[in-house]
């Protein structure tokens, strides 16, 4: 290669890497696989080694990716947050060991091998044992303050207590990884698919997208988790233990979640066999593990080695190759979701992958399909990481059969043949026919499911039959089923038919939140449905509530319901079809029980409460229910009309506003005393 060409190639690599850094760190929507990204970085770093003349000091190989995004306060880490060098090769791991032997001038030292958790890096600060701050890595020097969102992580303690063996420093920054379990990932993606939203490719991207939500209410609906594996700044300085092993023991003693398993190694071969053991057991971990991080155990020796501009010299990550297989794409079928979203699915020649036979894989959506130019007949690479649904990653163009034609996305619904539409601002293409049998089936199945009306005997198979017979086209039809018709269904004779009808009849009296959840409004899960039920009191009131019922001066009025949800709810009821459903449910005799029905007290009549911060024993919902049972109202924002602000630990702006307006602030125990009369 001529020097000009080299320089040009390096320039291209830098631009490509910068683009993918942005997609991964800031947008949480990478377009290429981790392995391919690492290969680009490796190519650039090799060229920089060979042609230092063209190596730039601000090359992406010399810094950590930047995750900072709009809408967050910046915070300068008191101690920098580094990245770790990585490798996919045994030999490079051996070289890492040789280098340490040389630099430490000894060959006796312990190393710790830990799982490398695939989430996003965070630094959590405790002062005087209290959680005061959580910050993303950002560019390593300064990151985004995500404290409010981090507080929604149930396993992250608000307070820590030291023990005799594990004394707690006055100030500590602990570093770790925020992640989502595979189970939660699948639940959220399934919901997003129904709602016609983009799917996240893996739990890491979803966790990253979630922590950067400006609406903590949305964050709280997704169960983020955290694991802590490293240390940052402390006061007094040097208040940390002497080894990484001890670090894990201390952090655990303080009540923080830490890695599930770690290995101690004394040689390069020990390290490699620990990595293989980790690979064998990582499938059972709750978090996705994309490799191992090998660290020098002694913190004094870590100091001796120090760090480069972006990574410590005492640690090295070993990454596992994602499991891939090549197979032929036999057909592309289109699935129809609850809200009519059309999702392309790859029908594959069955292939063995990560211990299972894969014959179907998601193709995500039309634009993704077009971008990758995937065609029926192509040989494609499928990849599966952990428990995640397999996905088609790439096409092997060398094997493309000459007769292969570009795939033309269907312009009509495969089920009811209605012309498909693409709504503005959405990636998804939808079938707009509300009475499309698949949509009806999914909607009714959701309505009858455990998490909603929980109607016994109305399982998925039963719903299928009712829809197939044409007896149920809309939710209210469930309440007008004909007994004689039902008796003609082969399997359900006599008794079970009566039982089913009785269960449907009984569901008319179910709690209001079950109906709200059952309507299937985007973003409205069980917790939000309960919040809405408390405040609205009836389906009718919910259907008629204007935007101002949710947002006033950009602040949420109902505790737990933020902007995203407010828009989804008002958007849902802006459609006449949905308003009619509510009216027809009422006409059919649906009388959902309002939360206070019956026991409505008068103790707090005419008084408005605002809840803020974390109460010592009650959840927000529990406290709100107690106040409302006593006849009080609970609001999401403080005004002059607020009677009391109930503040827990870490109360934020609402407390400040209460002080400013002179509103009385009480704590949980005072609230309890007031309730006791």
Binding site for ligand IVH (CB under 6 A): 82-84, 86, 114, 116-117, 121, 177, 229-230, 259, 293, 312, 315, 317
Residue 318 phi, psi dihedral angles, 5° rounding: -110, 120
d(C-alpha 405, C-alpha 554), whole Å: 51
In the bound complex, what is the minimum distance in angstroms from residue 80's beta carbon to ligand IVH? 9
Cβ proximity to ligand IVH: between 1 and 249 the closer is 249
In the bound complex, what is the minimum distance in angstroms from residue 289's beta carbon to ligand IVH? 8
Q: Output b/e per residue, 236-262; b: 16+ Cβ within 10 A.
A: eeeebbebbbebbebbebbebbbbbeb
Cβ proximity to ligand IVH: between 259 and 626 the closer is 259
Cβ proximity to ligand IVH: between 33 and 195 the closer is 33
Cα angle for residues 115, 117, 118 (degrees, 5° grid):
145
DSSP state of 412: B
In the bound complex, what is the minimum distance in angstroms from residue 352's beta carbon to ligand IVH? 29
396: region left, alpha or beta (phi > 0 left; psi from -120 to 50 alpha): beta
Cβ proximity to ligand IVH: between 315 and 429 the closer is 315
In the bound complex, what is the minimum distance in angstroms from residue 523's beta carbon to ligand IVH? 29
In the bound complex, what is the minimum distance in angstroms from residue 224's beta carbon to ligand IVH? 15
d(C-alpha 84, C-alpha 103), whole Å: 18
Residue 21 phi, psi dihedral angles, 5° rounding: -60, -45
In the bound complex, what is the minimum distance in angstroms from residue 346's beta carbon to ligand IVH? 31
d(C-alpha 544, C-alpha 469), whole Å: 34
d(C-alpha 355, C-alpha 657), whole Å: 57
Helix, strand, or coil (residue 452)? coil
Cβ proximity to ligand IVH: between 6 and 305 the closer is 305
Cβ proximity to ligand IVH: between 140 and 169 the closer is 140
Cβ proximity to ligand IVH: between 203 and 476 the closer is 203
H/E element holding 569? helix 563-574
Cβ proximity to ligand IVH: between 30 and 337 the closer is 30
Residue 548 phi, psi dihedral angles, 5° rounding: -65, -20
Q: Which two tokens stand for residue 473?
A: 């086209």
H/E element holding 169? none
CA 148 to chain centre: 16
- Shortest CA distance to 530 belongs to which of 182, 221, 203? 221
- Shortest CA distance to 550 belongs to which of 541, 538, 559? 559
Cβ proximity to ligand IVH: between 204 and 364 the closer is 204
Cβ proximity to ligand IVH: between 40 and 452 the closer is 40
Q: Which two tokens stand for residue 38?
A: 């690492």
d(C-alpha 127, C-alpha 147), whole Å: 14
**116 is an active site residue:** yes
In the bound complex, what is the minimum distance in angstroms from residue 100's beta carbon to ligand IVH? 15
Q: What is the DSSP string of 223-257?
A: --EEEEEEEEEEESTT-S-SBHHHHHHHHHHTT--
Report the first-to-last Cα separation within the chain, whole angstroms: 86
Cα angle for residues 380, 384, 388 (degrees, 5° grid):
130
In the bound complex, what is the minimum distance in angstroms from residue 103's beta carbon to ligand IVH? 17
Beta-bridged to residue 561, according to DSSP, are none
In the bound complex, what is the minimum distance in angstroms from residue 652's beta carbon to ligand IVH? 27
Q: Which two tokens stand for residue 546?
A: 């204007």
* Annotated catalytic residue, options 5, 41, 116, 554: 116
Q: Which two tokens stand for residue 190?
A: 């399934």
Dihedral angle sign, alpha carbons of residues 101, 83, 177, 239: positive
Is 489:465 a contact under the CB 8 Å cutoff? yes
In the bound complex, what is the minimum distance in angstroms from residue 259's beta carbon to ligand IVH? 6
Question: Among all residues, whose Cβ is closest to ligand IVH?
Answer: 121
Active site residues: 116
């Amino acid at each position: 290669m001529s020097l000009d060409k080299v320089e040009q190639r390096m320039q291209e690599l830098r631009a490509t890497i910068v683009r993918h850094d942005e997609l991964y760190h800031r947008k949480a929507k990478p377009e290429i696989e981790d392995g391919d990204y690492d290969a680009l970085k490796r190519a650039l770093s090799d060229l920089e080694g060979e042609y230092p003349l063209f190596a730039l000091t601000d090359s992406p190989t010399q810094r950590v990716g930047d995750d900072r995004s709009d809408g967050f306060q910046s915070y300068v880490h008191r101690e920098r947050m580094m990245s770790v060098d990585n490798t996919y090769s045994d030999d490079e791991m051996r070289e890492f060991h040789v280098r340490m032997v040389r630099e430490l001038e000894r060959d006796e030292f312990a190393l710790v091998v830990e799982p490398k958790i695939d989430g996003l890096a965070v630094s959590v600060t405790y002062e005087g044992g209290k959680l005061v701050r959580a910050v993303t890595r950002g560019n390593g020097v300064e990151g985004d303050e995500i404290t409010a969102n981090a507080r929604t992580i149930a396993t992250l303690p608000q307070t820590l207590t030291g023990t005799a063996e594990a004394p707690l420093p006055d100030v500590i920054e602990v570093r770790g990884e925020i992640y989502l379990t595979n189970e939660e990932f699948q639940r959220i993606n399934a919901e997003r698919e129904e709602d016609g939203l983009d799917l996240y490719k893996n739990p890491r991207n979803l966790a990253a997208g979630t922590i950067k939500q400006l609406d903590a209410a949305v964050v709280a609906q997704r169960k983020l988790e955290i694991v802590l594996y490293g240390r940052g700044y402390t006061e007094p300085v040097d208040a940390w233990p002497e080894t990484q092993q001890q670090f894990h023991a201390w952090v655990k003693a303080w009540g923080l979640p830490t890695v599930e398993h770690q290995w101690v190694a004394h040689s390069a071969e020990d390290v490699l066999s620990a990595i293989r053991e980790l690979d064998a057991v990582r499938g059972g971990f709750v978090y996705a593990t994309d490799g191992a991080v090998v660290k020098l155990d002694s913190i004094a020796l870590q100091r001796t080695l120090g760090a480069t501009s972006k990574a410590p010299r005492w640690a090295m990550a070993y990454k596992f190759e994602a499991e891939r297989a090549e197979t032929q794409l036999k057909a592309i079928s289109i699935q129809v979701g609850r809200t009519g979203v059309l999702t392309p699915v790859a029908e594959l020649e069955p292939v063995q992958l990560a211990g299972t036979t894969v014959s179907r894989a998601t193709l995500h959506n039309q634009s993704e399909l077009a971008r990758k130019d995937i065609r029926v007949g192509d040989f494609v690479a499928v990849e599966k990481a952990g428990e995640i649904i397999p996905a088609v990653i790439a096409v092997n163009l060398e094997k493309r059969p000459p007769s292969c034609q570009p795939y033309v996305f269907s312009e009509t619904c495969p089920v009811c043949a209605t012309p498909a539409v693409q709504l503005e601002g959405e990636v998804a293409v939808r079938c707009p026919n509300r009475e499309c049998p698949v949509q009806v089936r999914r909607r009714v199945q959701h309505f009858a499911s455990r998490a909603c009306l929980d109607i016994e005997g109305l399982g998925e198979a039963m719903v299928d039959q009712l829809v197939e017979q044409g007896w149920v086209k809309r939710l209210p039809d469930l309440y007008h089923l004909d007994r004689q018709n039902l008796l003609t269904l082969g399997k359900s004779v006599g008794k079970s038919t009566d039982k089913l009808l009785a269960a449907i009849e009984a569901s008319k009296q179910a709690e209001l939140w079950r109906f709200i959840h059952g309507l299937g409004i985007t973003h409205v899960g069980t917790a939000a449905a309960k919040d809405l039920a408390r405040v609205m009191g009836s389906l009718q009131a919910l259907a008629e509530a204007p935007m101002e019922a949710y947002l006033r001066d950009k602040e949420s009025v109902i505790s737990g319901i933020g902007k995203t949800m407010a828009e989804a709810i008002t958007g849902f009821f802006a459609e006449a079809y949905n308003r009619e459903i509510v009216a027809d449910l009422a006409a059919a005799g649906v009388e959902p029980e309002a939360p206070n029905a019956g026991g409505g007290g008068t103790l707090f009549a005419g008084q408005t409460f605002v809840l803020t911060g974390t109460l010592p024993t009650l959840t927000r919902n529990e406290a709100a229910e107690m106040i409302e049972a006593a006849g009080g109202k609970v609001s999401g924002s403080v005004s002059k009309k607020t009677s009391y602000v109930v503040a827990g630990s870490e109360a934020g702006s609402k407390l400040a506003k209460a002080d400013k307006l002179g509103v009385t602030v009480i704590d949980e125990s005072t609230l309890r005393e007031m309730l006791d009369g």
